[in-house]
Every structure is written in C-alpha cells, then in structure tokens.
Structure 1
Amino acid sequence: MEKTLDELGQHALQLLKNAPTNQRVLIAVSGIPGSGKTTLGTAVYDKINEIWSQNSSTQISAFLPMDGFHLTRETLASLPNAEEAIAKRGAPFTFDADGLTKLIQRLREPVTKHTVPIYAPSFDHAIKDPIENDVVILPTDRILIIEGNYLHLQDEPWNKIASLMDELWFVQVERDVARNRLIRRHLEAGIAGNEIEAAERAEKNDLVNGDYILSHSLPSHINIVNIHDDRMA
C-alpha cells in the first residue's frame, strides 16, 4: 500500500506543478460505504505533506470530508418526509449538497495575497451532528483531498461538484469486505445493538446507497483497488 500512496502523492504534486500558480488542485475521493475512502484520503493527504516537507516547512495539502454536510437531526426531523429521512440518513438527499457546492466554488477561486482562511464543518460521531467551522483551509493549502460517497454522482446538483474537481479518484472494494466493515462500524459506534441489527442496516441502507453510487457515478480518473486490510474503513 505504501507504494500506491507514494504514487498518488507524487501524482497530486505533479497536478499542482502543472496548474496555474494561483489555483488549488481539488481531488474528490469517492467509493461505496465501507470502501476505505476516508482512510485512503487521509493517508494520501499525509503522504503529500510528507513529500512536500522535504523542501518546505509548511504543509501544502488539506483533507476535507463530506460528512460535515450531513443535515442535522433537527433539520431531518423538520422535513415533510422526516421518518424516511431519519431512517435513511446517509442517502444523498440527507446531505446539504448546495452548501457543499458553495464551499467548493470558494475553493476554486484564485489564491491571492488577500485570500483568507476558509472554514468548513466537520461531523462529530459522538453527538451525531455536524460542527460548524471546525475544519480550517489555509491559503497555503493548495491540494485539497475531498472525500465523500457522492462526490462523483452524475445527478444534479452533485454533478456540479464533480465538474469543479481536477480529478475524481474512486476506491474499489469487494461487497463482502465493505459489508463486514460496516457491521463492525455500526457495532462500535452504538448505531446497532447487535450484529443482526448492524447487518440489517448495512444491507438495507449503506449497501443500497453503495449500489446507487456504482450505477450513477461519473467515470473516474484513477481507480484504486482497496487491499483487504481491516484498518481501511
């Protein structure tokens, strides 16, 4: 896996080298739930900064997960289809796609001496809701690794987000591997009380969303085959 991370890090830095000097490089890492995209995205972000640090004291890359754009539980409860929205939290319609689009548009703006830090929300799994302005993107952060399930979708408004990216990277994984990871994740997070409940949620929610991702995503620039490593979740 280290060889893959090094190749991806070097590739991202080459994209920056070829880009206009006032532009950021935006890379969208996607995959089905349980594919390992979060672990891979953070590892690539770390690798880019590790390579860059050989010649600089500042980091060049930042990591931005899409999870901060979950609609809050309060917002879901106020929707006309509240029961469905709460049950299917994690589906595309339970995210603030417009808010994410506006953030990506800001990241696409030229970087100048007047550019200020940009703040984005994170997601707190303990309270199961986003935390506003918890992720800081500095003007010196020139390569953004943006991670999330739906960043490659061809559906509106998600396709607008995809069109703003420099590259789309997709993490491939076998369905059974993803299923086992999801079951473990739901048990560890307390989302399910036992393995039967966890498996049901994985099959009826997460993997349904995963099937939709596989059938409705745009072509990727790079496909990464996830190794069978239980740390990748």
Structure 2
Amino acid sequence: MDSPEITEAVDALRGRLADGRRIILGIAGAPGSGKSTFAAWLQQQFGPGSAVVVPMDGFHLANAIIDGTPLRQRKGAMDTFDAGGYLALLRRLVSRDEEVVYAPEFRRTIDEPVAASIAVPAAVPLVITEGNYLLVEQGPWKDIRAQLDEAWFVDTPQDLRMSRLVARHIGFGMEPRAAQAWAAGPDEANARIIMATKASADRIINW
C-alpha cells in the first residue's frame, strides 16, 4: 500500500503531530474509492492510542426517517445525512476539552448508524475522519472543511471504483442487477458531486 507520495504524506503528518497538538485529518473521496481502507491503514501507522478513525457515515439518517420517502431511493446523497450533527461532533473534537467524546458508527450489516460506538479520548492526537462530502461548499457542509487541519482526497480509477461498489452491494444482500443499477445510479450521481470537490484537497492520494 505504501508509495513514495503516501510515505511523504505520512512523514509530513508525523511532523505536524510532534508538538502534541491535535490534528483533524479529513479523508474524502467518491463511493468505492477506498477511503475506509486507507483511513484504517493510516491509523495503524501511528500505533495504539495515537489515532482514531471517525467516519462521516455514522451520520446517515436512520431508515426509520427515510423509509417511505424519496430519500430512500437515493440513500447516501448529501441530504440523507445529519450534516449538522457531524459538524457539531467535529467542533467538539477540535475543542478537545472533554475527557472522551463518543461518535456514531455506520454498520453495513444492519444498514443503520449506531450511536456512541467510537470513543475518542482527549489524549488522542490524531483524529482521522473520512467521508464523501468533506469538501462540499454548499449548505451546512461548507463549515466542515474549516474544522479540518488537512484534507486529503483518495483518487481511484473509475472502473475499479465501480467494481468495488457492485461487489460491496452484492456482499450486503443486493441481487447483481440491482447492485449494478445502484452503483451506476445513486452512487454515480453522488460521485460526480464529490469528484468536483477534489481541487479543494491539500493532497491527492492516488490509489
């Protein structure tokens, strides 16, 4: 997984952490780009107690909210997230004035967010938050970028992204035809919005 550009990015991040200040690092990217895998790998580079991953996906609106509405047919779009709740959490993490902050987590096995699933102690210097819309400049999302000390964008070839998405959907119970339709429909509509934000990132990570 290492490459010269990733090694350089990690080394520079270590340098920023040397003074003990908390760094909030955002990892953005389109659906299927590998954000979660990259964030987990990055966390491992800093060792236990030094980094925590807080995914944006914990702020999916619950199915009880979107079932029976048009939102259900485009779950994953910007307006199917609690952007205000995510922004409030990031502000708490930036403040670093609570002993522990608890963040929600999205569990694909039940297709639902679960509250207070991730503990972020005040002593942890690196918080890695990953998600689709970290660099979007509209609505409540525009204030999220200001909470991030750095933002990296994971860029992945289109064919690879699409194959990953189809495999993920099938793995969680979709029929192959439905998985392909969802990847090419709602997922791709979201991807176009996200790819347009790439220029706002501090670093482009080629996957």
- 2:79 is aligned to 93
The aligned runs of 1:83-122 (5 Å cut-off) are 83-111=69-97, 115-122=98-105
- 1:8 is aligned to 9
Query: Aligned partner of 2:182: which letter?
Result: R
- 1:54 is aligned to none
Q: Counterparts of 2:99 and 2:199 in 1: how far apart (Å)?
A: 32
CA deviation digits over 1:9-46, x for unaligned, max 9?
3222212225xx5x410010010001111101110111
Query: Aligned partner of 1:147: which letter?
Result: E
Q: Counterparts of 1:103 and 1:214 in 2: how far apart (Å)?
A: 25
Q: Counterparts of 1:136 and 1:165 in 2: how far apart (Å)?
A: 19
Query: Aligned partner of 1:11: which letter?
Result: A
CA-based RMSD: 1.6
Query: Aligned partner of 1:64: which letter?
Result: V
Q: Counterparts of 1:225 and 1:126 in 2: how far apart (Å)?
A: 29
Which runs of 5 or more residues in structure 2 are unaligned? Answer: none
Q: Report the CA distance between 1:218 and its aligned residue.
A: 5.5
In the alignment, is the contact (CA less than 8 A) between 2:96 and 2:122 conserved in 1?
A: no
TM-score between the two structures when normalised by the length of structure 1: 0.83
Match of 1:46 among 44, 47, 55: 44
Query: Aligned partner of 1:25: which letter?
Result: I
Identical aligned residues as a percent: 29
The aligned runs of 1:149-164 (5 Å cut-off) are 149-164=132-147
Q: Counterparts of 2:69 and 2:92 in 1: how far apart (Å)?
A: 34
In the alignment, is the contact (CA less than 8 A) between 1:32 and 1:213 conserved in 2?
A: yes
SS in 1 for 2:122: coil
Q: Counterparts of 1:188 and 1:61 in 2: how far apart (Å)?
A: 29
In the alignment, is the contact (CA less than 8 A) between 2:133 and 2:194 conserved in 1?
A: yes
Q: Report the CA distance between 1:116 and its aligned residue.
A: 1.0
Which runs of 5 or more residues in structure 1 are unaligned? Answer: 50-57, 227-233
- 1:210 is aligned to 191
Q: Counterparts of 1:64 and 1:139 in 2: how far apart (Å)?
A: 14
Q: Report the CA distance between 1:119 and its aligned residue.
A: 0.2
SS in 1 for 2:106: strand
- 1:222 is aligned to 203
Q: Report the CA distance between 1:83 and its aligned residue.
A: 2.9
Q: Counterparts of 2:13 and 2:43 in 1: how far apart (Å)?
A: 10
TM-score between the two structures when normalised by the length of structure 2: 0.93
Structure 1 pair 118–201 and aligned structure 2 pair: CA distance change class (3 A): same
Q: Report the CA distance between 1:217 and its aligned residue.
A: 5.2
Q: Report the CA distance between 1:224 and its aligned residue.
A: 0.5
Q: Counterparts of 1:125 and 1:110 in 2: how far apart (Å)?
A: 29
In the alignment, is the contact (CA less than 8 A) between 1:153 and 1:218 conserved in 2?
A: no
Tell whether 2:27 aligns with 1:34. no
Query: Displaced runs of 4+ in structure 1, greater than 6 A?
Result: none
Q: Counterparts of 1:63 and 1:217 in 2: how far apart (Å)?
A: 21
SS in 2 for 1:122: strand
SS in 1 for 2:76: coil
Q: Counterparts of 2:58 and 2:191 in 1: how far apart (Å)?
A: 19
